[in-house]
Amino acid sequence: MTANGNAPGNQDLSQQIRAIKQRLGSRLVMPAHHYQRAEIVALADFIGDSYRLAKEGAAAQADYIVFCGVRFMAESAAILARPGQKVLIPDPVAGCPMADMIEAEAAETILQSLDKLCGQTVIPLTYMNSYADMKALTGRRGGAICTSSNAAKLLTHYFAAGQPVFFGPDYNLGINTARQLKLPAAEIFRVARDGSRHGLVLDADPAKARLYLWDGFCHVHKRFKPEDIAAARQRHPGSHIIVHPESDEAVVQAADSSGSTEAIYKAVATGQPGSSWIVGTEASFVHRIAAEFGDRLVLPLRESYCFNMARITLDNVLACLQSIESHESTAAKPLLHLVQVDEAIRSDAAAALKAMIAIVEGPALVQGGRS
């Protein structure tokens, strides 16, 4: 295996992918999330965290977007795609258990009861790790999508407008952002993820709450414990410990810093040769940056993997690209794993994604794609 993950058997597949990419030229773009396998990252046109992928994906002019990431990411690209642009995902089974922890129907019920409780409209601020129905509900209610790189900015935006916020599905990103903004505990209200009645857990006074948190989680980041940090400090004194904010609050508090995958990548990339990093996020990403920055010590806080991200392989990427070439030569041949979103859902979901980009970047950048 080489540094970019190319085992000898993979080289042939990589070459075939490169050849098709060359033939399609600017008609194809292949984005990849930071958690993708090293051999996929090596072939990608751009890599990033989920915010960067959404923003750059929305600006892409290509006819085909082959999205190397999990389904909610490819779906977001399809929601923001221009008319006629096609988004394909090499393995549609690549899901995200956290995104499955909230659905629009349950959220609508809870939002209606929160509206009554607050005597005003509660704004949904929905994590990117959610599916199109949830994003559409968010858009319909005048809310926005957020990612770990901008949750603080979006929450601040809605609080400044005096609006209470319902945040989901990731409880940890919500509570870690609330702590970063120094929101008083009495203003935070946890909403139970209860399949039958979507009940409220009264661990704060609902009349005073400004932030309602759904209690979804990421099993990959749940595995990190404060004890892992204590052990890492003992074993590698002087290391900088950086974790993803999907980790438990106690882990984020015990770490030296936290941030999105892009922020983690940049922190290590701008570190000094000889510096030492302990990273609490998906382990294949940590091993990839360790290989890229060989003059620094980069270790995972714990070996915790996202098997959904790993479902994207050279084999299924190649199959997707081959289907594009067949489709180009004979239109009757279907594209493999085309991502499709109902128009009624898509336009509301696009409004929520564009609201995020407008708040983060300013309205001038929200061009292209469809409304």
Instruction: By CB under 6 A, tell whether 70 contacts ligand SF4.
Output: yes
Among ligand SF4, ligand 13P, none, the one that 50 touches (CB under a kind-dependent 5 to 8 A) is ligand 13P
- Mask for 169-208, x = binds ligand SF4 (CB under 6 A): ----------------------------------------
- Least Å distance, CB 23 to ligand 13P, is 30
Instruction: By CB under 6 A, tell whether 98 contacts ligand SF4.
Output: yes
The smaller minimum CB distance to ligand SF4, of residues 218 and 351, is found at 218
Neighbours of 296 (CB within 10 A): 17
- For CA atoms 361, 363, 365, 371, give the dihedral sign: positive
If DSSP codes are grouped into helix, strand and coil, which group holds residue 359?
Answer: helix
Question: Judging by beta carbons within 10 Å of its beta carbon (0-12, 13-18, 19+), is residue 247 exposed, middle or buried?
Answer: buried
Instruction: By CB under 6 A, tell whether 29 contacts ligand SF4.
Output: no
DSSP letter for each residue of 89-105: -S-TT---TTGGG--HH
Q: Are 281 and 261 in contact (CB under 8 A)?
A: yes
| H and E: helices and strands count for the chain | 15, 14
- Least Å distance, CB 98 to ligand SF4, is 4
- Mask for 231-270, x = binds ligand SF4 (CB under 6 A): ---------------x------------------------
Q: Please give the residue ranges that form the binding site for ligand 13P (CB under 6 A).
A: 34, 49-51, 129, 147-148, 218, 244, 246, 260-261
Question: Judging by beta carbons within 10 Å of its beta carbon (0-12, 13-18, 19+), is residue 251 exposed, middle or buried?
Answer: buried
- Least Å distance, CB 72 to ligand 13P, is 8
CA distance 62 to 24: 10
Among ligand SF4, ligand 13P, none, the one that 147 touches (CB under a kind-dependent 5 to 8 A) is ligand 13P
The smaller minimum CB distance to ligand 13P, of residues 146 and 336, is found at 146
CA atoms within 13 Å, Cβ hemisphere of 261: 22
Distances in whole angstroms, Cα of residue 234 to Cα of each of 229, 237, 258: 9, 6, 20
- Least Å distance, CB 309 to ligand SF4, is 6
Size of the site for ligand SF4 (CB under 6 A): 12
Instruction: By CB under 6 A, tell whether 218 contacts ligand SF4.
Output: yes
Report residue 142 as tokens.
């005048």
Cis-peptide into 300, omega within 30 deg: no
- Interface residue with ligand SF4 among 66, 111, 220, 290 (CB under 6 A) is 220
Binding site for ligand SF4 (CB under 6 A): 70, 96-98, 129, 218, 220, 246, 282, 306, 308-309
